[in-house]
Amino acid sequence: MSGCTMVLAVMFHNKWICLYYLLLLYSVNTLLLSSVSAFFIIPSAHDVNLQHKTYASNGDIELLQSNKNLPPLPDRRACLSSISSVGIIYTAASVSAKETDLLSTLRTIPTNDNNLQVDELKDTVPITITLPLELSSGGTFSVRIIFTSDKSLEVYKAIVDTGSPYLVLPSSNDNNKPGILEQIMMNIASAANDDSSLLLSQSKYSPTEEVYGAVTGNINWKLGKFSFRDDRLQITDSSTFGVVGVLDEALTNEATGGGAYEPLALLGLIRNNNPNRRPRFPEARPTFLDQECIISDDASDDSTNKQYRIKSFSLDGRPSRELTLSTQSLIPSATTSVMELVDLRTVGDFVDHYAVLVESITFDGVSITSQSLQAFTGSRIERPIVAVFDSGLTGCLLIRNFADVIEQYMSGKGSASVTVDEFTSVSLNLTQKSKQKQTKGKRITTCNIKSSVEEDPRLFYVQPIDLDWFDSIEYSPYIVVLGQTFLTQGTLTIDIDERVATFIT
């Protein structure tokens, strides 16, 4: 196909989708596109403008072409944590003395969950969409998102993040654009200051103060038109624009690896906010999965009744590297056992993190249970150990109070003091229960998930972290956050509506 024919196809026949696929051709380093009234150039890697982050670097292009080797990792904590905890920090509320059965509380779903009310997207037919994953900074996986306006286009690489709820873009020094990643950006507008070329516009939402990992910063909430390589994945018909957050510089560096290898966007896959708002929470913004739907294959352009809610997703970290989204459960009906998702919102979490019970956790050969920690601390409450799946995280994090207790417990087992960041291996047995009708809910087996510095020297680490998730530190579970050092070993599948999960290695 000649260059002129390519341009005609791009400009006059579904221009953005065609152009998007054109950009993904790995074998092409330089393309010159021209048309009757406008032309634009995609430069080779040697013509990059790294200062303004406008085009791909040599290393980026090689990564896109091979998609086999992990990018350099100058700091293995580049993606220390994309886990979200909202915070203007307040003193934790006191808890009633009668609330002593913490495990039962975690299994209670809020009765006024905003996502369990009337669902306007009536789901009757299972439809799945699969997006390829690319290796990104900090050992995370990302997908491509294309933002468009009347006269401009930008392609972003966004970390697929099971530990946060929103679609957010990195900061930029340019007031007109939210920050260009390693992807190519083309502005077809004749004037750089033409308002119609701007990708984001103001939303009705005011900026909020958020905490990602251990860093507090601000997010500006904008409106943007975005799409994916499968055009069945769309913003709901209530609006042609979706709500997008733009991180400030501090949050960009903490949550997306900015400054380490490349600034990335985040595609948060937590769907549900906490309907029981706490004073320390800012007003909830629409999550990505709240705004996104799947269009049926036979839906016409003017169809308004064939949109389906995303109810399940699967993240395959093995060589196939795929993100699958579905309107029905992706856990096969023949599956005998699943992990039940516990609800951390019942004790104060601001979003519905994907969390499961830990039967036992082993650090460097020392096995620990919630019962052994209760006996060690002498607490009147058994505090369950709960694992949170976070694909936007590189290694393993322990909530601060859990790390403190573990260090005391481990030091008591040996002659020397122990710190969690010295651990070289972690192994977890996650409680699995029967999925079959006859024995549904009974504990039948465990899912073992583990990693070590020996098996994964690039991504493995253990660190404590301060998380403002709970109303009371004393009346809360012990949290361990599992990042890519664990998740790359298998396929994590979440059924959001049925509140169950599987991890298959």
pLDDT, tens digit, 9 for 90 and up, residues 80-106: 444 443 332 223 333 343 345 887 888
Write down the pLDDT at residue 162. 97
Write down the pLDDT at residue 340. 94
The SS3 of residue 140 is coil
Query: What type of residue sits at position 336?
Result: T
- Distance between CA 392 and CA 68 in Å, rounded? 19
Least confident residue range of 22-31, 288-297, 411-420: 22-31
Do 196 and 189 form a contact (C-beta atoms < 8 A)? yes
Q: What is the pTM of this model?
A: 0.77
- What is the mean pLDDT of the segment spanning 111-121? 48
- Distance between CA 154 and CA 263 in Å, rounded? 14
Least confident residue range of 17-26, 108-117, 291-300: 17-26
**Which band of pLDDT confidence, cut at 50, 70 and 90, is reported for residue 38?**
very low
> If 0-12 CB within 10 Å is exposed, 13-18 middle and 19+ buried, where does residue 25 land?
exposed
Report the DSSP beta bridge partners of residue 186.
153
- Distance between CA 374 and CA 372 in Å, rounded? 5
- Distance between CA 208 and CA 212 in Å, rounded? 12
- What is the mean pLDDT of the segment spanning 164-176? 73
- What is the mean pLDDT of the segment spanning 4-27? 39
Pick from 314, 293, 283: nearest CA to 209: 283
pLDDT-above-70 percentage for the chain: 65
Q: Is pLDDT at 420 greater than 90 in this prediction?
A: yes
Alpha-carbon distances, residue 82 vs 30, 66, 76, 160, 210 (angstroms) = 35, 26, 14, 10, 12
Do 255 and 245 form a contact (C-beta atoms < 8 A)? no
Phi then psi dihedrals of residue 432, to 5 deg? -115, 140
Q: Is pLDDT at 442 greater than 90 in this prediction?
A: no
- What is the mean pLDDT of the segment spanning 189-212? 67
- What is the mean pLDDT of the segment spanning 475-480? 95
- What is the mean pLDDT of the segment spanning 254-265? 64
Write down the pLDDT at residue 178. 41
Residues contacting 53, CB < 8 A, separation 6+: 172, 179, 180, 181, 182, 263
- What is the mean pLDDT of the segment spanning 138-150? 86
Write down the pLDDT at residue 461. 96
The rounded mean pLDDT for the chain is 74
**Which band of pLDDT confidence, cut at 50, 70 and 90, is reported for residue 31?**
very low
Residues contacting 229, CB < 8 A, separation 6+: 20, 21, 24, 131, 144
Least confident residue range of 145-159, 183-197, 300-314: 183-197
Least confident residue range of 171-175, 226-230, 242-246, 312-316: 171-175
Write down the pLDDT at residue 121. 52
Residues contacting 432, CB < 8 A, separation 6+: 337, 338, 339, 443, 444, 445, 446, 447
Write down the pLDDT at residue 333. 86
Phi then psi dihedrals of residue 5, to 5 deg? -65, -40
Pick the residue with more confidence: 214 or 504?
504
Q: Is pLDDT at 6 greater than 70 in this prediction?
A: no
The segment with the largest mean pLDDT, out of 183-187, 243-247, 352-356, 437-441, is: 352-356
- Burial 150-179, CB ≥16 within 10 A → b, else e: ebbbbbbbbbbbbbbbbbbbbbbeeeebbb
Least confident residue range of 116-130, 311-325, 380-394, 488-502: 116-130
Write down the pLDDT at residue 488. 94
Q: If you write DSSP's letter for every residue of 145-191 in order, what string do you get?
A: EEEE-SSEEEEEEEEEETT--SEEE---S-TTSS---SS-EEE--SS
- Distance between CA 54 and CA 73 in Å, rounded? 22
**Which band of pLDDT confidence, cut at 50, 70 and 90, is reported for residue 363?**
very high
Please report where in the chains the tokens 């790995």 appear, as a residue.
26
Q: If you write DSSP's letter for every residue of 20-85 in order, what string do you get?
A: HHHHT-TT-S-EEEE-SS-EEEE--GGG--TTTT-S--HHHHHHHHH--SPPP-SSTTTTS---EE
- What is the mean pLDDT of the segment spanning 52-62? 32
Give me 148's structure tokens: 């468009």
